[in-house]
Amino acid sequence: MTAITVAGSINLDFVATGPALPAPGETVTGATLARHPGGKGANQALAAQRLGGNVCLIGRVGRDALAEEALALLLEADVDVGAVAADDMLSTGVALIAVDPQGENQIVVAAGANHAVRPEHLPQRIETPLIVQLELPIETVEAAVGRAVGFVCANLAPAAPVSEMLLRRADLIVVNETEAAFYGDALHHGGGRVVVTKGAKGAALYQRGVEQAWATPPQVTAVDATGAGDCFVGAITVALLEGMAPDEALRFACAAGALAATRAGAQTSMPSRDDVDQILRSGT
């Protein structure tokens, strides 16, 4: 198993699945409510663990009733949460998610304890491959990248200004089309790989701005896209660290992300390695 460190957010998701997503000022009724563990960091940690990694998560929760629920699936999957601290002042992060019948979503996040993860809470050296996202304070994310001595995957989501150091240091940058438009050509200033995901259309991998590989996901019936992008990030990191060629790694990650979209919730939707291998063998 490949050792991986994830520095990232931990949330509890409140998911309302209804007949439509609300327009500004609109109230949509007839929804059902579910609670799922989430947060981009926790989602990616669980995805990487289920797909073959041996993952340590660095993060922060509140000292409250939500924390146990937010960490439950990570503990069940044997993710190492020894570096997850409890904050005495701030609550566990919460995401409010609306989902329509096609699986599209809208998300509002109350970061809570996630915004109290500071550079001083990080190891001085991060010896294993590292995954980061942008739901922790940017200075903490950049400190983690600066202390990593090996492979770094930076999922630049949600889009926010980052330093040139981070863009150049990352061995792998993963963004969706909206995030890619936000960063523009700056994504390709370093020598690392850049993956742009395009939902059901697939994903492309670039190096120095030149497309190196393209893959499309298998045909599935989408139920909830929440967490599918995070599953992709965990999957492609594991695949590349295992030595898969770029096109093979993209196919693997697209299949994992597609499977995540067939199930409700973020962490509850993360597939196993056997699930992904099976759908790839079936060619569907």
Provide the annotated active-site residues.
Answer: 230
71 alpha-carbon distance from chain centroid: 16
Residue 259: partners with Cβ closer than 8 Å, 6 or more residues away: 220, 231, 269, 271, 275, 276, 279
Dmax (CA) of the chain: 50
- Residues 61 and 198: their CA atoms lie apart, in Å, by 32
DSSP 85-137: EEESSSPPEEEEEEE-TTS-EEEEEE-GGGGG--GGGS-S-B-S-EEE-SSS-
Size of the chain, expressed as the number of residues it contains: 284
Question: Strand order of the sheet with strand 32-38?
Answer: 32-38, 11-17, 93-99, 105-110
Phi-psi region of 103 (alpha: psi -120 to 50; beta: other; left: phi over 0): left
Tokens representing residue 279 in the block: 């759908």
What is the residue whose two structure tokens read 């600066």?
Answer: 146
- Residues 211 and 66: their CA atoms lie apart, in Å, by 43
- Residues 272 and 89: their CA atoms lie apart, in Å, by 36
